[in-house]
Structure 1
């Protein structure tokens, strides 16, 4: 790999690289397409998967195919009017209804935290090293994810050496790269030490128990208590959270996703009187539209407003 290729590779987010490779493989292997592709071939590919794949997925596949052609020095067939018209037609015939993650309410967070604390204590009494590690890790992951409004991929990329603790005050989490950091200057997030459901205490309990000094903060653990050297995969966050909630006796555990922590915090903050600007600064949203996608109105059906006007 040349120096130029090295820095090009370094400038591409790992998640983006993986998703683009998957898109190219789907076009060539699953569908049987040929690269370089023609506009007609791209259009037929879109038409064959219309209604089967979400429009957002098809758009991502187009971006990957466009990038491949540009990098290989070929004309980009995805920009041809035929392809744009086909994609517009798919949007018209197969409108997508946005699915939002179910927000984790504070009482459900408390319920899961109680179960994890109890399970970790019982595992320690039974000399179950693996169970003690997993439950302690999961408690730290859950509380940091909620109070910081982190996405699943951010939790998976959190590095121990980039976390600083100020006892009794809070913790600082630095990410060299984040989704909205286009200048690649790194982003710092702060989480407070709290009287209860404290993310700082839970994190210290975890790293001290696991003897972690650097590398990924949250890793997979086998039944014997052996930890992996790499971080949890972002795709593992949803099944992990659902397993925790189900074990804690939370109803409809399968309705939650990795975004449930962020949506839960956003709704808690909004109902607790945080203004939108403060919430945006804390979570790291750049636009009001991004913030509002995570906040449910206190009167979503307008019943209270209409009832009050009826007298």
Structure 2
């Protein structure tokens, strides 16, 4: 069942990339999947969420990584986390999609998995504290990028960086997870169970722990369903933010 879901997700992503409606959204496909779930059930394989403590560790300098690569990695991870972006959304962002202000930066996503008609949506990244500031990390990476490329404004901003710190072509979707896991191993963290989706799951979980409303989380991540958001919120004790505890003032 999990293999089938991954293949359907790949089909949906491919159609979204070319601005077409995915056949996976058809009534027949949805009805068939519901029938399979009722008969066989489905255990969802969920990526472990990146915590704030882990993120602080990941953005530290690594002796084996160049200054350029470190700047790229910091911006990629912090922007991916703060925006709650899907990996396909993250690698498509270009400098032309950014608007900086005193409050932070807004990112215009021109298309995404849940936006097959490319209507676009805007995600705000506010200034953060200390090493977890996505806006400052992004500015530093853009400074490097603009020195490297004359056409940097229109091309995807997250690029390959070789061992000598030279900037290459745009990253593919799969590179986000590879960079995250490589950074985890270089920082002494265990990478089992973590993927690019861990950044998105980490933002949702951390926001929920901090008391953010479901609609605020949905506005940031682009989730259309509250049920989907609830599945992302994990690692929180059922006794925390408990409705009964709040109502009865325990």
TM-score (structure 2 length as normaliser):
0.76
**Counterpart check, 1:96 vs 2:32:** no
Deviation at 1:92, TM superposition (A): 4.0
Unaligned runs of 5+ in 1: 1-50, 64-78, 124-129, 306-311
1:1-311 equivalent positions in 2, closer than 5 A: 54-57=3-6, 92=39, 95-114=41-60, 118-119=61-62, 131-166=66-101, 168-196=102-130, 197-211=132-146, 212-229=152-169, 231-250=170-189, 252-296=190-234, 298-300=236-238
TM-score (structure 1 length as normaliser):
0.62
Bigger proportion of residues as helix: 1
Give secondary structure in 2 for the equivalent of 1:100. coil
Higher-Rg member (1/2): 1
Unaligned runs of 5+ in 2: 13-27, 147-151, 244-250
After superposition, give the CA deviation of every residue in 1:131-167 in whole Å (9 maximum; x if it has no partner).
Answer: 221111000011111111111111111111111211x
Q: RCO higher in 1 or 2 (8 Å CA, sep ≥ 6)?
A: 2
> Are 2:89 and 2:111, in contact at CA under 8 Å, matched by a contact in 1?
no
Change (3 A) 1:194 1:92: same
Change (3 A) 1:61 1:269: closer
Change (3 A) 1:268 1:293: same
> Are 2:71 and 2:140, in contact at CA under 8 Å, matched by a contact in 1?
yes
Q: CA RMSD in A?
A: 3.1
Aligned length: 219
> Are 1:55 and 1:90, in contact at CA under 8 Å, matched by a contact in 2?
no
